[in-house]
Amino acid sequence: DQQVKQNSPSLSVQEGRISILNCDYTNSMFDYFLWYKKYPAEGPTFLISISSIKDKNEDGRFTVFLNKSAKHLSLHIVPSQPGDSAVYFCAASTKYSGAGSYQLTFGKGTKLSVIP
């Protein structure tokens, strides 16, 4: 049972245009959502996050939108640059019982290619 789904394995975008990466989740207990970027042979790098009390968070070229009723979030990258080419993972967390453990549940990732 995949609780976090990224239905597009890959996405190609022209440099300068907008990249939109999508993510759906099924667990209504998730209350914190994150996007990670991963280059080959490196670990995931935190990009941006959003709490469930918000519907938008912006950081430079990156904006994450959260639609709780649809259990959907998206990452917008504007303008897209060749250096943005990487695998993007959507992740979600919720407090694990009373233990204060916030392990992340990841999607399978979307490979973004930004074409010069």
Q: Which parts of this chain interact with other proteins (CB under 8 A)?
A: 4, 31-32, 34, 36, 41-46, 49, 51, 89, 91, 93, 95-97, 99-109
Tell me, what amino acid is at 44?
P
Residue closer to other proteins (CB basis): 74 or 105 = 105
Neighbouring C-beta atoms of residue 38, cutoff 10 Å: 16
- Secondary structure in 3-state letters for 70-114: CCEEEEEECCCCHHHCEEEEEEEECCECCCCECCEEECCCEEEEE
Instruction: Please tell me the distance from the alpha carbon of residue 48 to that of residue 88, in angstroms, as a whole number.
Output: 11
Rounded to the nearest whole angstrom, what is the least distance from the CB of residue 16 to other proteins in the complex? 28
Residue closer to other proteins (CB basis): 49 or 74 = 49
Rounded to the nearest whole angstrom, what is the least distance from the CB of residue 102 to other proteins in the complex? 5
Residue closer to other proteins (CB basis): 14 or 51 = 51
